[in-house]
Chain A
C-alpha cells in the first residue's frame, strides 16, 4: 500500500466508522421499537398525565 492508498483508506474509514456507530444505534432503537410499541408508550404517558389531572381535581375538591 503506497501513501496515496493509505490516505484514501484513512478517509474512507473516517466516513465508515461513524456510519457504523449510527447504524448500530438505529438497529438498537428499532429493536426497542419492537420491544415496546409506540402506542403502549403513549398510553402509559397518557395514564400518568390523567392521574396527575385526577389527583389535582381530588385535592382541589377536598379544599371546598
Chain B
C-alpha cells in the first residue's frame, strides 16, 4: 500500500469512527434545547403575570394564556421523559417533532383565543422561540 492509499484509508477509518456514535451528543443537544425552551417560556409567563397584575391583560386572556402554558409545560416534560429513553437519533427526532407539533397547535389556540393583540404577539414570539430551539435539533438530526 503506497503512502496516499494509506492516507485515504486512514481518512475513511476516521470518518467511520466519527459518525458511528453521535447519539449521546445529539440527545444532549436536544436536552439543552428543551432547557432553553423552558427558560423562554418561563420568562414569557412571568412577563404575562406582571402585565395581568398591572391591568394590561384581561382576566379572560390571563386565564387562556395560563391554561395554555400549563399544557406547554406538560409538552416539555413529555419531551424530557422521551429523551431520557431515546435509543438513537431517529427516536430523539420523533420526540422533538412531536413536541414541535404540540407547541404549534397550542400557538394556534393562543392566536384564536387571546384577544389582546400585544400579548397575542408576545405569545407567538415565545412559542416561536421554543419551537426554534427544538427545530434546530430536528434540522441537525435530519
Contact = CB atoms under 8 A, between A and B. Distances in A.
B3 to A, nearest CB: 10
Interface string B19-58: 0001011011001101100110110010001001000000
B39 A33 contact: no
Contacts of B110: none
Interface residues of A, number: 31
Interface residues of B, number: 38
Nearest to A49: B76
Contact of B27 (A38, A48, A60): A38
B39 A48 contact: yes
Contact of B77 (A22, A26, A46, A57): A46
A22 B10 CA distance: 15
A19 B11 contact: yes
A48 B42 contact: yes
Interface in A1-50: 8, 12, 15-16, 19, 22-23, 26, 29-30, 32-33, 38-39, 41-42, 44-46, 48-50
Contacts of B77: 46, 49-50, 53
Interface of A: 8, 12, 15-16, 19, 22-23, 26, 29-30, 32-33, 38-39, 41-42, 44-46, 48-53, 55-57, 59-60, 63
